Structures are given as structure tokens and as C-alpha cells.
Structure 1
């Protein structure tokens, strides 16, 4: 299957919502070389290299069961980040989708007196009270991806930008329509689990971006973030629509099934845009079988580990004037196309 040749959108997208710090990989924000600070002790921490070995800190990490490519990448990226530092001792709990088991893991971290906890909760609301207990015990909690229901449960929260993913995908779609002078385009959307706020945010961002170029989604279906569901709903979509110009699929893991349905139906008249940034998606982009994908960073837990280390060592981000780590970090949602796929290849994950 070869995708219809379309002019590539060059340059950065405009209008992507990014809050707090927009570094995709925070290592770029924490590796300034030391500068001469004279005798002023109050400025020493803001100009020293944060990657230099400091006091050893023990960080507890609890994440999800690795039953999805992106989730597996979350766990492995946390371990890989910790291994880069001689001053991190990582206590890595077995991944779980059971909130009760994860609560027990966090309670163990508290009893062990770790210096910080990085937590991607199976259920943010269910883990909130236990996270508050850690904070009250003087252990900073770094909340990743799924938010707690209380601001008192985390010292810092690291998030991907679900709404921004939709905005990026929609803005890119508008560019394709303009560049190819497509009149009355048929735009389809393959969402994930509709009941999840993250799916709703992605769809809202997509709709808002399309509205900016006077377009709307003509056909929307929802899958379940699995290969099987992706293939089923994509096959049904193709049967229902004889002609489609652009399809945005929210998730590159379910995209394996979506792509299989496209191949089986021998349909390639549309521009296929994905979401998350899997290695499969980047392979398809390089092969001309996919137009683009929108990154939802699998580095969030790795960034959480790096921030936990800085917080536990009393440091801030060296590229910021502010001397403390921000309370909230929302990562960017860039579009990866044939023009820049090489830049993002190292961040892809297996699906």
C-alpha cells in the first residue's frame, strides 16, 4: 500500500497549546555547563550542571502493567533514565492495573523512607489519598500522565498534551487541505475509548483546529486502544465511506489494526495521520505509507525520574530563572512527518 503523494507541511506548527515547560526531553533543560558564580552562594544552584553527580537519592517508581506499547515504553524509559545517574537508587515496583496493589506499593515506598516517588497511577482518584500520605510524610510525589484529584497529592505533575494532540493533528490536516486545494474534504476520525477524558480532549482539540479552517469531522468512530478494535472499526469505516480525504487515528498501538484494515481493503486515497509516535508509525512514514503522527511522549516517566532527582537534591531547572522545579509540566505534541522523522526516531516505542 502506498499513500497518496501529498506536499509535506514544513516548519513548526502554530497554535499548539503548551503549558509550563515545552521541552520534549527534559535532559536538554538540565545540562548547562557550570559558570563562574563568584562567591554568591545563592546563585550557585542555578548555574551549576544538574547532571553532575550529587547526593544519592532513592526514588520509588510505580507504573502500569505493560499491556500496551506506549505503557511499556513508560516503564522502560523510567528505568533507563535512572540508570544514567550514579546518584539514583531506583526502587521499581512491578507494573499493575490494580489500584489496590499500587496503593500497597506506594505505602511500601513510604515505609522504606524513599526520597521521592514517581507515580503513574492506574486511577488518579483512587491513588490520591495515598499520594497525599506520602507528601505529608515529607516525600515529594511526581505525578505522571493521569492526574490525582487533589492538588495536595503531588509536588510536580508531568503530563502529555491530549488536547494539544488534537490541535496538532487538526492544524496539520488543515494544511494538507490548503496545500492540495481539496474542496469539500471528507475527514474521518478514529478515536480511542470514548469514556476516557483523554479521548474527549483529543477529539475536542481536533474539532477546534478544524473549525479554524472551516472544516469538521464527517465520520467519527471509536475503538478501544487495541489492535483488534482498531482493525474492526477501521474496516467498518471504510465500508461506510466510499471516499475519504484525511483520517486521524488517535493511537498508534491501535493503529496497527487500523493499518491492517486499510491494507486489506486496498484503500490508500487518504492522508493517514496517527497519534503517539510508535516505531511502526515512523516506519510507515519513511516508507510513504503514512502521512504523519502526533507525539504523545512515552518519555513522561523518564522526565518524572529526572525531576524527582532534582527535587530530592534541592535543585531547579538550570535553564529557568526560577530556582525550583515547576509545579506542572505539560509536554509538547509535535507532528512527525517525512520532513523530521529522523529527529524523533530515537523517541519511538514498539507497538
Structure 2
């Protein structure tokens, strides 16, 4: 009798173990037959670590990535750092723990995220940087606009528009980001040797509200100004509000990115010009490159996305 009971207990134990290995059933997940969307490619999950979603540019970048991922049924896991380097480092580490196939990284800080990239390298997870580069670790490719050339385009526009004479205020982006560094480098070098003079430079952290407050303060200290170069559209739109409040409609504003609000401001005559990027294309190319890496294909070490100078003449 005891022998029969032991055999029965053993059989029940094995059955329970088999059931636990199957895992719980997710009733909310659509079956392959009922879903019209392509099924996620097994083991092919791509992580997208964004610096922030509180900026239309990066929302557009995410949208481009999501649309491209959906084409072949890839899973795209998006994490938002809210412009906090420490939070982004933790998010990247979480993506590493989840063993995603590739990490698309839009760093909050080019230097601070180098360590996280090295962690991904050690875990043999390829990293692709989008819009902003990192200062350490190994990346498969960097996909971005030529920010140095874009800054130079802004300088050339103002030199011509102001007939090579005037004072300029420069609103800088988030310190430590490659985008702010490169755009500033291109603009500052482009202004050198011209009749224009940069009379003030101050970070407004790619933020519209800060663009407003910083411009208000700078206008008080530097009333003799003919132009403002903002390293992104959000700061440019903030500068426009400050100029409106100060009744300074004669000051030219140049932005950088090409967001819908920015382009509309060009159409309305509020912003003189924008160096326009293609954020959706950056996101799309990021996922395309990730797919190539997953498939064992070679990708170029740097992929440049074209820029375009938008003025009222071509904003339509």
C-alpha cells in the first residue's frame, strides 16, 4: 500500500512540474489566427532608450521606429529617461537584463551613458546610437543628421539675412549632449570671421519654457541684438514668445529640428528659418539597421540623414 501511495505522489509531482513549466495562459494575447498584425519575431526584440518623450522631435523618432518594427513583426520595447542620465543608465541595464537583441540608444548625456554602452558590450548586445553619440564603448553604427553642418547652415543663413552685420544670441541645448556640442561647433565656427558677433550664449536645455525665460533674461542684459540662434525648435519657440512680450519683432530667430510647431512658426513668419531634420527617418533607419544586425549583416559605421534649410519660401 505504501509503495502504491509513493508512486501516486511521484506521478502528481511530475504532472505539477510539467504544468509549472508551461507558465500561465495570457488570455489577453491574440492568437495567431485572430490577429491581423504580423506576429512578433521570436527572440527578436529591439530596445529603444529615449532621452525624453517630452519633446516632439523624439516622439516623431519613436513613431518612425515603431512603424518600421511593425513591418516585420518585431517587438520594440521603449523606455523613457525623462532627460535623467541616471534613469537612462538604469533603463539600459534593464534592457540588458531582458536580453533584447539590439539596443537603440538616444543618450541623455554622451559621456554619462558610455558606461552603460560598455555593459551592453560585455553582454554581447549590439548598440546603435540615434541623433546623439556616446563618448565611450563600442557602437555598431551612429545614425544622425550632420549637426556640425547644420549649425554652419544656420550661421550662413544669418550672415546673408543680416547682410553680414549684427549681434547674435545663442541658446544652447543640454550640456554634455553631442547634438548641443556639434550644433554649437558648426554655428560658432561659421560665424567666425564674419561681421556677426555672438554676444551671449546660455543653455536652455532644448526646452520651450526655458527658451522663454533665458531669452527674457538675455534681452534685458543685451538689448542690442539682431538675431537668435536656438539649437532646437522648442527653444526657438520659447524665444519667439519672449520677443513677442518684449515687442521685438525685428529680431530674426533660427531654429533646428523641423518639428510641426516649428515649421508652422516659419509659415506664420515668427521664425525666419529652421535647419530641419527627419526624426521619423532616424527612427526608421535605426530599426532597419537593428534588423540587419540581427540577421548577421554588416552596416555602415555612420549613417547620415539629410538636412534641409526651411524658410517661408519653401515651408509649404
Q: TM-score range by the shorter chain?
A: 0.7 to 0.9
Shift of 1:293: 0.7
154, 161, 177: which one aligns with 1:176 = 161
CA distance in 1, matches of 2:209, 2:311: 26
Answer whether contact 1:162 1:296 (CA < 8 A) is retained: no
The count of aligned residue pairs is 274
Alignment pair present for 1:313 and 2:304 = no
- Counterparts of residues 47-86 of structure 1 (less than 5 Å): 57-83=44-70, 85-86=71-72
Counterparts of residues 257-268 of structure 1 (less than 5 Å): 257-268=238-249
Query: Is 1:304 equivalent to 2:275 in the alignment?
Result: no
* CA displacement 1:290-332 (0-9 Å, x = unmatched): 21111244333332122111221234xxxxxxxx310122334
Q: Is residue 2:169 matched to residue 1:189?
A: yes
TM-aligned CA deviation for residue 55 of structure 1: 6.9
CA deviation vs aligned residue, 1:51-80 (integer Å, no higher than 9, x gap): xx9976321222223233333333343323
Report the alpha carbon displacement of residue 242 of structure 1 after superposing the two structures with TM.
5.2
Tell me by how many angstroms 1:129 deviates: 3.7
* Partner in structure 2 of residue 88 of structure 1: 74
Bigger shift: residues 56-65 or 236-245: 236-245
- Decide which of 294, 299, 302 is 1:325's aligned counterpart: 299
SS at match of 1:314: coil
The C-alpha deviation readout for 1:102-122, integer Å capped at 9, x for no partner, is 444434433444322212233
1:288 positional shift: 2.4
Q: Unaligned 5+ residue runs, structure 1? A: 1-52, 316-323, 343-351
Q: 1 CA distance for matches of 2:57 and 2:119?
A: 29
Higher relative contact order (CA 8 A, sep 6+): 1
Aligned to 1:232: 213
Contact 1:164 1:332 in 2 (8 A): no
Distance 1:106 1:228 in 2: 29
SS in 1 for 2:151: helix
Larger radius of gyration: 2
Measured after TM superposition, the shift of residue 97 of structure 1 is 4.1
Structure with the larger strand share: 2
**CA RMSD, Structure 1 to Structure 2 (Å):** 3.0
- 1:1-351 paired onto structure 2 within 5 Å: 57-83=44-70, 85-152=71-138, 154-177=139-162, 182=163, 185-193=165-173, 195-196=175-176, 198-211=179-192, 214-225=194-205, 226-240=207-221, 244-299=225-280, 300-315=282-297, 324-342=298-316
Summarize the Cα distance change of 1:339–1:234 in structure 2 as closer, same or farther, 3 Å threshold. Answer: same
User: 1:168, 1:334 within 8 Å by CA — same for their partners in 2?
Assistant: no
Matched residue SS, 1:207: helix
Equivalent residues of 1:227, 1:255 under 8 A apart: yes
In structure 2, list runs of 5 or more residues that go unmatched: 1-38
1:230 CA drift (Å): 1.8
How far apart are the structure 1 equivalents of 2:218 and 2:232? 16
- The answer as to whether partners of 2:140 and 2:299 remain within 8 angstroms in 1 is no
Normalised TM-score (structure 1) = 0.67
